[in-house]
Amino acid sequence: MSTDLEKIAKSRKIKYFLISFVDMFGVLRAKLVPARAIGMMQRDGAAFAGFATWLDMTPAHPDMFAKPDPDSLIVLPWKPEVAWLAADLWMDGKEVEASPRVLLKRQLERAAKLGYRMKTGVECEYFLINPDGTAISDARDVQPKPCYDQTALMRRYDVISEICDAMNLLGWCPYQNDHEDANGQFEMNWDYDDALRTADKHAFFKYMTRTIAEMHGLRATFMPKPFLGLTGNGCHAHVSVWDSAGKKNLFLDAKGELGLSKLAYSFLGGIIHNAESLCAFFNPTINSFKRINAPVTASGATWSPNTITYSGNNRTHMIRIPEAGRFELRLMDGAVNPYLGQAGVLAAGLDGVKNKRDPGKRLDIDMYALGHTVKGAKKLPLNMLDSVRFADQSKVLRDAFGNAFMDSYVKLKMREWASFNSALTPWERDNTLDC
């Protein structure tokens, strides 16, 4: 075993470890383990009842074991006697097919066999709201175009600087924080990393942001569209593929169009080709579809895509190429499962590379104003049901993720849709009572 957690507990004075995992719906679950038991837990894993989480298991399933990855260790900056560990799920001596982290590792292994190593960065937008969740927390943050508003940003200095200081301490190399395009909305950026590390950081960032906000009497939400009329929470992903040593960016080609290589365009073609089914993972909630396909917001733009197109440095398309050597995928939202999001990007990208998928011509128009003039571009699904049906029928996703995983995911999402449909909404009454 490369890292002995018992030794780390002694040397870093850690009293407790959070052995955590993310289930299919992105919920972060954990056991709080005292340092005296960490040796055993590192060897055998922490036991959980799978049925109690979103993993499509029954109460009769045997124990599931979360085996921590010592390389993921994060000492909580605001409580250094506790350390967080991301774990992979095991049952009956085998990895659990439904475990999102296991699934991402499988995609990374497939890529590694081809000599590829994906590196990604994520931009996790969030709102600071009142503890009861009804409104943004700053009543004075009312400008119609609030993006980069210095005064509103600095009213939240205590929370934002505490999160940024934590990222700095953890060596994530944070480099900027801003007020985003909706009232009450913020974004904090840190450096890209290997996709698995970024997924672990993404899961931890959400936990950290919620926790620190609560410590300041506020609440943080990553909900895709918490307030109609305001820009929603995106989670843009920046993507590049490197050689196995992680030294050479294989997406970079100074002679390629906009500085991207043929490999990058095929990868991008894979995302374009599979976008409709990827929405089941990138936009996984009922609410997600109020962000994409949304009517114009108070600020003048939704900043989210509705059509499956790509562009240069132009934020009105699903994919933007901001500079040589990488692209930005603007489709994901704040509800994206950190592991399934990355796994979806890689699965679709590898499909694009294998089949040399042509992304078609770049569009340089303002998609919000002129989208209706574009002929033949595919539209994104209009709701969760459509996206899950696309995913269910996707041979690419089934080949990459396996039928067991896909069947479970589709089953749980269909149940969620049925549950949503069992609610009678005010809209229906308003529009149908007098029918």
Q: How far is the CB of 332 from ligand ADP (least distance, A)?
A: 12
Give the distance, in angstroms, between the CA of residue 397 and the centroid of all CA atoms in the same chain: 17
In degrees and rounded to multiples of 5, residue 311 shows phi and psi of -150, 180
Sign of CA dihedral 407, 201, 210, 226: negative
Q: How far is the CB of 182 from Mg ion (least distance, A)?
A: 14
Sole window of 49-57, 103-111, 189-197, 357-365 interacting with ligand ADP (rule: CB under 6 A): 189-197
Give kind and range of the element (H or E) at residue 112: helix 100-113
Task: By CB under 6 A, tell whether 322 contacts ligand ADP.
Answer: yes
Cβ 306 vs Cβ 368: under 8 Å:
no
Residues 20, 42, 120, 316: which binds ligand ADP (CB under 6 A)? Answer: 120
Q: Which does 200 bind (CB under 5 to 8 A by kind): ligand ADP, Mg ion, none?
A: none
> Which x/- pattern over 244-263 shows residues binding ligand ADP (rule: CB under 6 A)?
-----x--------------
Whole-angstrom distance, CA of residue 319 vs CA of residue 313:
9
3-state secondary structure of 217: coil
Task: By CB under 6 A, tell whether 236 contacts ligand ADP.
Answer: yes
Task: By CB under 6 A, tell whether 179 contacts ligand ADP.
Answer: no
Q: Which residue is nearest to Mg ion (CB)?
A: 123
Q: Which does 240 bind (CB under 5 to 8 A by kind): Mg ion, ligand ADP, none?
A: ligand ADP
Binding residues vs Mg ion (CB under 5 A): 123
Other C-beta atoms within 10 Å of 158: how many? 12
Q: Distance from first CA to last CA of the chain, Å, rounded?
A: 68
Q: Which does 119 bind (CB under 5 to 8 A by kind): Mg ion, ligand ADP, none?
A: ligand ADP
Whole-angstrom distance, CA of residue 122 vs CA of residue 174:
12
What residue type is assigned to position 343 of the chain?
A
Residues 326, 357, 389, 413: which binds ligand ADP (CB under 6 A)? Answer: 326
Sole window of 164-172, 200-208, 325-333, 416-424 interacting with ligand ADP (rule: CB under 6 A): 325-333
Residues 26, 50, 68, 121: which binds ligand ADP (CB under 6 A)? Answer: 121
Q: What are 118's strand-pairing partners?
A: 241
Q: How far is the CB of 259 from ligand ADP (least distance, A)?
A: 11
Residues 209, 240, 297, 394: which binds ligand ADP (CB under 6 A)? Answer: 240
Name the pairing type of β-strands 319-323 and 310-311: parallel
Task: By CB under 6 A, tell whether 194 contacts ligand ADP.
Answer: no
Cβ 219 vs Cβ 89: under 8 Å:
no
| Interface with ligand ADP: number of residues (CB under 6 A) | 16
Q: What is the DSSP letter of 145?
A: S
Q: Which residue is nearest to ligand ADP (CB)?
A: 121
Give the distance, in angstroms, between the CA of residue 233 and the centroid of all CA atoms in the same chain: 11
Structure tokens belonging to residue 360: 């078609």
Structure tokens belonging to residue 369: 């104003």
Residue tagged 């924080």 (tokens): 177
Q: Which does 198 bind (CB under 5 to 8 A by kind): Mg ion, ligand ADP, none?
A: none
Task: By CB under 6 A, tell whether 127 contacts ligand ADP.
Answer: no
Residues binding ligand ADP (CB under 6 A): 119-121, 123, 189, 191-192, 236, 238-240, 249, 322, 325-326, 328
